[in-house]
Amino acid sequence: MSCPNLNSLIVQHLFKNGRFHSVWKSGRPVVTNRHSFSSEAKEIVIPKYIPRGPTDILEALASTVKRDPTGPHYKFHDDPYLIPASSHAKRTYALAQEAGRKAASWIKQEHADLFNQRNAEPFIEAFSPVEKLTETTPMTEDLLKKYIRTSQVANAIHVYGKLDSSEISSATKQSFLEFISFYNEEDQLSEELIEERWFRSGVKGMRDQVKSTWKSNGLAERIFSGLDTITPEAYHALICGMVKHGQAVGAWEHYNQMLADGFQPDLMTYNSILKISGIIREDGEYIITLINDILTSMAHAGIKPDVRSLNAALQSISRMPITRVAREKASRLMSDFKSIGVQPSLGTYTSLLKIFCRDKGPRSNILIDIVRRIEIEMPPIQDVEDVTFFSEAMKNCNYHLDDVQLAKRLHSLLSSSQNQVFIGDSYKESVYYRSFLLLLSRAEGPEAFMEMYRHLVPHIYTPEQNVFENVIKSISSSSAIQYVPELWSDARYFELSERDSVLEALLEALTCGSGPDPTIVVDKNDVDPVLATARAIMSHVNQVIKTAEEKDRTISLRWTGSMLGNLMKVFLQYGDLDSADEVMMKVNQLKNQLSSYFPLATLNIFVEKCIERQNSATALMAIDYAAEMGYENVTTMAQRISEQLKLDEKQQQKLSSILSNAPTPSETS
């Protein structure tokens, strides 16, 4: 090879090192120098570079990781002390973490002079302190534009107030009007405060009815009326802002005014009016007429409605009181929009569920068709209402259809990684999982249910008190006593262990077993988990009551007769007579303070056991209680005791005094 070949050689080298994608991608075969390597006549074909985005590799690696059911959400630390279980703890931990971030950004803002190093490359504007508005800041239109661009509402309003409104260009005025109409003249919660938004939106989601928050006669309306020439864009901004913030009547007035002025509304404005047509018209027929009118005028104006128009119209229809009319109109709309090629989004399905599945209406299987459709193709997120679908659908599965298979299909749809965004916020998430767990607890067998339960609880969802009670009841009704110890532990972690209804349910569940299982307890030192649970519950309740008394705090937790009765039953079943005696002492000590009666059957068994053991002291306590409560067979019990137990002098006296005080059966009846 001589030197003129070198250039071709260098070109080859660029291929080899692959740094020049433009060369690589060409996929041009390299012709080798035949005289230098004559035996090689074949062409070397270098495959084309496979194009990939900057995060594709990371996404591919992330796809190898599935959810870890025993691990906490990634925002928490993976450490037993820092993993929250109760929903209260989850909220506190997440918000505490964010509060730290907030404090840091506050310091950055307050002591902006300390953060003047600009060694970042490339420089990131968001990380530097925001410039403060002071007395000396020159008020210019550019400053106003900047605040609009960076969505700082209060500052923008301040600057606007200082500026002479006649000097502001009409374009800036229009964008300022749009800006304050959109934000309703209020600064929004920062986009960076993810947790706060997640937990706050839950509170807002409770209200189905849109509350009017629009500032009447506020700055937006004043700017609008102060405009020299009123443009259709100004109308659009004001109407959309009013609808967004729940001022339906005002929006409707401005809409009519706009039509009277001869302006043409745009798609957004039409969508807004469609959204409020269910509010401004009360009666079903009028709503339909209004929707028809709007859609016709859109067709005349040559504006093609989109999926948001469909969602807005369906939302209005879902407010209609008569189900039959609403169903007909919704079906018509769906087929009409389908014929013009508008694909429904998840928000559409939410409205359909609301229209077709009313609480008191007939059963509708529409959800089955919807799930079948989105299993084939998941529509992308397009509307604000899209995130409400899954909680609504799961509610529907639970309360309307009662179909566990459908619920599982729905859950597998949500579980895929790209659909996680559809869960919405903390409130919708808890509605979703509450419905799911309630349905599962009703419909599934204990093994299958507990498998799903362990998968969801506690890291995805913490059951509320009533859901947890339902879970315990379903476990106890299927006599799956082996799961009760686990549920008791969970009750501790979810901070539900001081609720008397939960404890009642747990103790009820503990008695549903058939006694000790010899396969679990092999060693003499081992304790059967059910018995251990009963002991743990007893000591826990005693402890809680004791600390409350010491600290002089009022709590709702009290021993009740049925709780102690169930405890006694378990102890007798498992042959732990010392603990049974302890329960009896508790009963004897509280007596009348117990809110429900200690069951007689258990008392009888206990007395039998006492006779077997020749334990006269506790037997007397039982008799004492029975006499106090006026049970009918006190006398027979007392006779058995006096016959079969050796009683000393004192005990004899006590027994006779109890019997003399006790009402005879004839008296009670």
Q: Give the footprint of another protein on residues 502-561 (CB under 8 A).
A: 520-521, 523, 525-527, 529, 532-533, 536
Site string for another protein, 68-107 (x = CB under 8 A): x-xx------xxxx-xxxx--x------------------
Shortest distance, position 505 Cβ to another protein, whole Å = 17
Shortest distance, position 453 Cβ to another protein, whole Å = 12
The region of 114-122, 152-160, 284-292, 559-567 touching another protein under the rule CB under 8 A is 114-122
In the complex with another protein, the residue whose CB is nearer, 123 or 260, is: 123
Residues 11-30 that bind another protein (CB under 8 A): 12-13, 15-17, 19, 30
Shortest distance, position 572 Cβ to another protein, whole Å = 20
Give the separation between CA 258 and CA 266, rounded to whole angstroms.
11
Give the separation between CA 400 and CA 330, rounded to whole angstroms.
20
**Best CA proximity match to 545, nearest among 325, 666, 553, 125:** 553
The region of 189-197, 238-246, 252-260, 488-496 touching another protein under the rule CB under 8 A is 488-496
Residues 40-59 that bind another protein (CB under 8 A): 40, 42-50, 52, 56-57
Q: What angle do CA 329, 330, 336 make, to 5 degrees?
A: 90
Shortest distance, position 436 Cβ to another protein, whole Å = 21
In the complex with another protein, the residue whose CB is nearer, 359 or 550, is: 550
Judged by CB under 8 A, how many residues of this single chain contact another protein? Answer: 73
In the complex with another protein, the residue whose CB is nearer, 227 or 536, is: 536
**Which residue in 38, 55, 116, 119 binds another protein (CB under 8 A)?**
119
Per rule CB under 8 A, is residue 285 in the interface with another protein?
no
Q: What is the DSSP letter of 397?
A: I
How many CA atoms within 13 Å lie on the side-chain side of 646?
2
Secondary structure (DSSP) of 258-302: HHHTTPPP-HHHHHHHHHHHHHH--SHHHHHHHHHHHHHHHHHHT
Cis peptide, bond prior to residue 458, ω within 30 of zero: yes
Give the separation between CA 665 and CA 635, rounded to whole angstroms.
9
Contact 380, 418 (CB under 8 A): no
In the complex with another protein, the residue whose CB is nearer, 68 or 375, is: 68
CA dist 316 to 218, 244, 279, Å? 27, 14, 7
In the complex with another protein, the residue whose CB is nearer, 119 or 556, is: 119
CA dist 130 to 62, 111, 142, 431, 571, Å? 35, 11, 16, 39, 67
CA dist 279 to 14, 124, 199, 273, 357, Å? 68, 45, 28, 10, 21
**Best CA proximity match to 354, nearest among 381, 326, 312:** 326
The region of 485-493, 502-510, 562-570, 647-655 touching another protein under the rule CB under 8 A is 485-493
**Which residue in 137, 264, 292, 482 binds another protein (CB under 8 A)?**
482
Per rule CB under 8 A, is residue 377 in the interface with another protein?
no
In the complex with another protein, the residue whose CB is nearer, 16 or 300, is: 16
Contact 203, 430 (CB under 8 A): no
Coil, strand or helix: which one is 246? coil
Residues 427-456 that bind another protein (CB under 8 A): 454
